[in-house]
Amino acid sequence: MDVRQLRNFVAIVDSGSLSKAAERLHIAQPSLSAQLRGLEDELQTQLLVRSAQGVTPTEAGKALYRHARVVLRQMEQIRQEVREGGGSEAGPVAVGFPTTIASILAVPLFARVREQYPGIRLQIFESMSGYIGELLANGRLDLAMLFRDSETRGISVMPLFDEELYVLGGHRVCPAIYEDAEHNADGTCPLEKLDNVPIVAPSASNGLRLLIERSFAQANTELNIVADIDSLPTLIDIARSGDACSILPVSALASRDPALRPPSRRIVAPHLQRPASVCWSNSLPVGSATVAVRQCIADLIRELQADGHWTGITLRRGSYWPN
């Protein structure tokens, strides 16, 4: 087994097809198939399941894929640090953001890294938080912002802030949310006012959806999900129409023109909030470039919160922000 075989195997899994991987790698498909057979013979196990739809990794193939990702990233870091003189902040750093966080943090992070560390090639992935967690576990990311505050097997966690949730829109189906004089002054909405109100939310596997369901159940409030939508722009557009509410952090509106934002109220009694942490894999070496980007993320969060650009979050006091 050599690095070339590992790189080609990763390309096959990522492409989901031998023919697509061969085209991407600029090698003949029969040659790539022969390499794969040789790898399976050497390891004495089947690595891929072939079908008319392409190829998918077996459990053994998934294990090889994770280890191959680690080896390839280590090789890239060795090559970059030796080329740059050892330990300098240079090379690729892959960062994953849930969509709501990407909307406020991705562009400032790009600008900060370009300004302070021109040798770093930033790679930003944006998706639902569950998929970002999978990418981190599979070794495809160096860093990820995830909604958790405790470590899991193989993943280190540095809690940075707690994020409050808001009800957005729904002003046509439930105008009482915004007409309540008692709560209008401080821009809040008691959870009980959302009893049986039409709500659009991410699908059942999403962490935010699970938090919403648990919070409504604990408050003995009827949750009325009328559509499952795994698209942040669509959730916001429906909320803006007033035909249903959505429950999101206010940061989800950061990239929108204020004139195109739905009305919003912070949910109280009880407060709905979730922790957010920067995470990294214990199985990957943490190079100086990754440490630099991690620090940039923490600094930007503090700055955006301090100047009022990122509302609805409370910083976690600790190693980054001492009391």
The count of domains in the chain is 3
* Same structural domain, 142 and 225: no
User: Alpha-carbon distance 29 to 97, whole Å?
Assistant: 35
Looking at 39, 70, 101, which one is the last position of a domain? Answer: 70
Handedness of CA 227, 228, 230, 236 (dihedral sign): positive
Looking at 230, 255, 274, which one is the last position of a domain? Answer: 274
The domain that holds 20 is classified in CATH as 1.10.10.10
pLDDT-derived band at 40 (thresholds 50, 70, 90) equals confident
Residue 76 counted as domain residue: no
Residue 55 counted as domain residue: yes
Contact 262, 169 (CB under 8 A): yes
Q: What is the pLDDT of residues 85-110, one digit of tens each?
A: 555 688 889 999 999 999 999 999 99
pLDDT-derived band at 320 (thresholds 50, 70, 90) equals low
**Looking at the DSSP assignment, which residues form a beta bridge with residue 120?**
91
Residue 259 counted as domain residue: yes
Residue 86 counted as domain residue: no
* Interval 283-303 mean pLDDT: 89
More confident site: 137 or 310: 310
Residue 78 counted as domain residue: no
* Same structural domain, 168 and 302: no
The domain that holds 124 is classified in CATH as 3.40.190.10
* Same structural domain, 154 and 214: no
* Same structural domain, 228 and 185: yes
pLDDT at residue 182, rounded to an integer: 63
Mean pLDDT over all residues of the chain? Answer: 88
pLDDT-derived band at 323 (thresholds 50, 70, 90) equals very low
- For β-strands 155-164 and 313-315, DSSP reports them as antiparallel
List the structure tokens of 308: 């009022």
* Same structural domain, 245 and 259: yes
Q: What is the pLDDT of residues 70-90, one digit of tens each?
A: 777 777 766 766 666 555 688
Question: What are the strands of the beta sheet with 91-98, ordered from one edge?
Answer: 120-127, 91-98, 143-146, 273-281, 155-164, 313-315
Residue 321 counted as domain residue: no
* Same structural domain, 219 and 174: yes
Q: Which domain holds residue 203?
A: 163-274
pLDDT-derived band at 322 (thresholds 50, 70, 90) equals very low
Contact 194, 171 (CB under 8 A): no
pLDDT-derived band at 67 (thresholds 50, 70, 90) equals confident
pTM for this entry: 0.75
More confident site: 318 or 115: 115
* Same structural domain, 20 and 104: no
pLDDT at residue 225, rounded to an integer: 97
* Same structural domain, 20 and 118: no
* Percent above pLDDT 70 for the chain: 92
* Same structural domain, 168 and 269: yes
Residue 34 counted as domain residue: yes
* Same structural domain, 61 and 197: no
**Count of CA atoms in the C-beta half-sphere (13 A) of 184:** 7
* Same structural domain, 133 and 206: no
**Looking at the DSSP assignment, which residues form a beta bridge with residue 96?**
125, 144
* φ and ψ of 93, to 5 deg: -135, 115
* Same structural domain, 148 and 172: no
Residue 46 counted as domain residue: yes
- For β-strands 155-164 and 188-190, DSSP reports them as unpaired
